[in-house]
Structure 1
Amino acid sequence: MDNFDLNLLRVLDAIQRHAHLGRAAEELGISQPSVSYALKQLREHLGDPLFVKVHHGMEPTPRTRELIPVVQSILGEVRERILTTPGFDAKTARRTFTLAMSDVGEMVFLPTVLNEIAKEAPHIDVRTVSSDPKDLMAALQRSEVDLAVGYFPDLQGGDIFQQRLFRHGFVCLVRSGHPVLKSGLTRKNFQSLPHAVVHAEGRSQEIVEQFLRAKGIERREMLRSPHFLSIPMVIATTDLVVTVPAAVAEVFAQFADIKAVEPPYPMPSFDLKQHWHRSQHHDPGNQWLRSLVLALFGDGENGHAERDATA
């Protein structure tokens, strides 16, 4: 193999099909002497004349007839699997996409994504994972995760592409009938009312906590929980207040009798994005998935995908 030029297989195939050195050379785009020299090399490598001259052209030897199906199979595999850009037909594709999302991200994104996939790609399955930022970077590099959707400030580096979907802010939630719905949530009662504080894997909650600490704003943290799942029922049945991303509040309001109120402070906002690794950038399936997510959640101001600016 070290001394064998695989291009010689193309020459062998062309001579066999045309039974003529000149016509084989014309197809290959090389001179007839080059074809003759290639045939000489093949004969030396394989220890067989391969073709003999007859009155109507070049007659393959038994050894050549034995080799031709193998050669054509190899050339076909190269054309179809290596040189042909793979396509992705959503209607017929069978594949499992792995999405990295926090539990908050699943609430916001997953139902809409699954409904659209069910319509557009009926044989596509979805798996979600939640990983430590360092583990997530490695999983993207190994193509174990196709797309990370949400707030992932730790996903940085020249191998990571990102695309903005929409800008996100925070609101406060209280039960229906809560007294603050009449008077409004003031800075005074924001600090005096009991709060539920979620310390979950969703890094967006850190934005609120950092803002309050920077402003020196204190509140009574009556409940500290690592879970978002219990929050709607807690808020609906108590006088507690919770501060959550606006899209999460919309989801919670579908399942509990709670209301959103504006915070009394100018809370920060942040961008939700989709992230993927350079190794997946040209994959047709990944491109389709990114287009679907962008169409569903993009606010029209996202622009083009770009590599991380910190690289």
Structure 2
Amino acid sequence: MRFERFDLNLLVILDTLLEERNVTKASERLHIGQSGASAALKRLREHFGDELLVPVGRRMTLTPLAQTLVEPVREALLQVRAALSRRPAFDPQTEHRRFTLCASDYVTTVLMADVIRHIAEQAPHVSIELRRPPRDFAEVFDRGELDLIVMPEPYLTQFTHPSTPLFRDTHVCLVWSGHPSVGESLTFEQYMALGHVVVRLGEDARAVMFEEWFQPRYGRQRRIECSVDNFSTLPLLVVGTQRVATLHRRLAEHAVRHLPLRMLEVPVDVPPLVETMAWPRHLQNDPAHAWLREQVQMVAARLDHRSIPDGSFTG
């Protein structure tokens, strides 16, 4: 099909070429064969009067014009996809749809597990795929591969997509119930003297997020004796030890119900965490997606909100 002398079928190929920057990889993704992808690239070059992809050493890179096409081409395809999925009316009892949600294991424990149970009751034919945030979550989100993401507010400040705060949480300390030297409270000096169990996020095991906030303010570094790549395992690594963990209050409350642990206030003034929900702008007016967002917000509203001061922390 042509639109103003342009073959619209080439839009999908153009989007893939701009993303992969490799004809062979693009052809594999599109299942059209390398010769077909090369022919399409030739037609695209003729239309735009530009090379679009040029070799630099052993790799291909985008020309300045091609770089300007990345976002509008992707946005156009996402808008088309959203339009094709629209229905005259939305009925959760009869809707057959799959949503892909992205959240940390902490958010899954305190919120998303209840969200998924609630959706199963309200929309029996709607399925949910729940993923942990990938390292390049912003790029994955921009490609339209996620329907909704829940992240700490600071991570979403550069997003150009709509978002709204979901809930707040504070931080507490967890110690083993049989800890020989910790009573009903922790002093700052005790806190600094203890070994700490922490979460390190990301494949590169980058600096602990809490440490990035803590060290500049207090001029000291905690003694980290054990680290893990998820929040849910953190309490388990405190049991039977003389270590301490600092984590979200709601997750700690869940842990003390099941493990021999005690929850204590953090002896430093830690700003609260604000978890925020974001979604693709091309789905803003989609009735099914609007319903999904309403369900997430409804369940989040049931959380036991406490009086939390202004501010946020990205732990």
Asked whether the equivalents of residues 86 and 284 of structure 1 are also in contact (C-alpha less than 8 Å), the reply is no
Quote the offset at 1:197 in angstroms: 1.5
Residue 38 of structure 1: aligned partner = none
Whether 2:277 is the aligned partner of 1:274: answer: yes
C-alpha separation in 1, matches of 2:207 and 2:290: 26
Quote the offset at 1:94 in angstroms: 1.3
Quote the offset at 1:85 in angstroms: 6.1
Residue 89 of structure 2: aligned partner = 87
**Could you state the TM-score of these two structures normalised by the residue count of structure 1?**
0.63
Secondary structure of 1:224's counterpart equals: strand
Residue 233 of structure 2: aligned partner = 230
Whether 2:215 is the aligned partner of 1:212: answer: yes
Residue 114 of structure 2: aligned partner = 112
Quote the offset at 1:181 in angstroms: 5.2
Quote the offset at 1:164 in angstroms: 0.8
Quote the offset at 1:183 in angstroms: 4.5
- 1:181-192 to 2 correspondence within 5 Å? 182-192=183-193
C-alpha separation in 2, matches of 1:232 and 1:158: 32
Asked whether the equivalents of residues 141 and 279 of structure 1 are also in contact (C-alpha less than 8 Å), the reply is no
C-alpha separation in 2, matches of 1:137 and 1:86: 31
Quote the offset at 1:117 in angstroms: 1.1
Amino acid paired to 1:254: R
Residue 262 of structure 1: aligned partner = 265
Residue 130 of structure 2: aligned partner = 128
**CA separation of 1:251 and 1:208: change in aligned 2, threshold 3 A:** farther
Unaligned runs of 5+ in 2: 5-82, 306-315
Quote the offset at 1:158 in angstroms: 6.5
Quote the offset at 1:263 in angstroms: 0.6
Amino acid paired to 1:151: P
Whether 2:177 is the aligned partner of 1:150: answer: no
C-alpha separation in 2, matches of 1:177 and 1:225: 22
| Cα deviations by residue, 1:240-284 (Å, 9 ceiling, x for unpaired) | 100011122123223312121001111121211100111111111
Percent identity among equivalent residues?
A: 30
Asked whether the equivalents of residues 143 and 280 of structure 1 are also in contact (C-alpha less than 8 Å), the reply is no
Quote the offset at 1:235 in angstroms: 1.1
Amino acid paired to 1:211: F
| Cα deviations by residue, 1:37-73 (Å, 9 ceiling, x for unpaired) | xxxxxxxxxxxxxxxxxxxxxxxxxxxxxxxxxxxxx
Amino acid paired to 1:194: G
Secondary structure of 1:112's counterpart equals: helix
C-alpha separation in 2, matches of 1:110 and 1:199: 22
Secondary structure of 1:160's counterpart equals: coil
Aligned residues: 221
Asked whether the equivalents of residues 150 and 273 of structure 1 are also in contact (C-alpha less than 8 Å), the reply is yes
Quote the offset at 1:168 in angstroms: 1.8
Amino acid paired to 2:290: Q
Asked whether the equivalents of residues 150 and 274 of structure 1 are also in contact (C-alpha less than 8 Å), the reply is yes
Residue 247 of structure 2: aligned partner = 244
Residue 307 of structure 1: aligned partner = none
**CA separation of 1:300 and 1:176: change in aligned 2, threshold 3 A:** closer
Secondary structure of 1:289's counterpart equals: helix
Asked whether the equivalents of residues 151 and 203 of structure 1 are also in contact (C-alpha less than 8 Å), the reply is no
Asked whether the equivalents of residues 168 and 269 of structure 1 are also in contact (C-alpha less than 8 Å), the reply is yes
RMSD over aligned Cα atoms: 3.0
C-alpha separation in 1, matches of 2:118 and 2:155: 29
Bigger shift: 204-213 or 117-126?
Answer: 204-213
Quote the offset at 1:207 in angstroms: 4.1
Bigger shift: 203-212 or 160-169?
Answer: 203-212
Quote the offset at 1:153 in angstroms: 2.7
Residue 169 of structure 1: aligned partner = 170
Asked whether the equivalents of residues 101 and 130 of structure 2 are also in contact (C-alpha less than 8 Å), the reply is yes
C-alpha separation in 2, matches of 1:131 and 1:276: 14
Secondary structure of 1:154's counterpart equals: helix
Quote the offset at 1:126 in angstroms: 0.9
Q: Answer with 1 or 2: which has the greater Rg.
A: 1
- 1:193-208 to 2 correspondence within 5 Å? 193-201=194-202, 206-207=209-210
Quote the offset at 1:173 in angstroms: 0.5
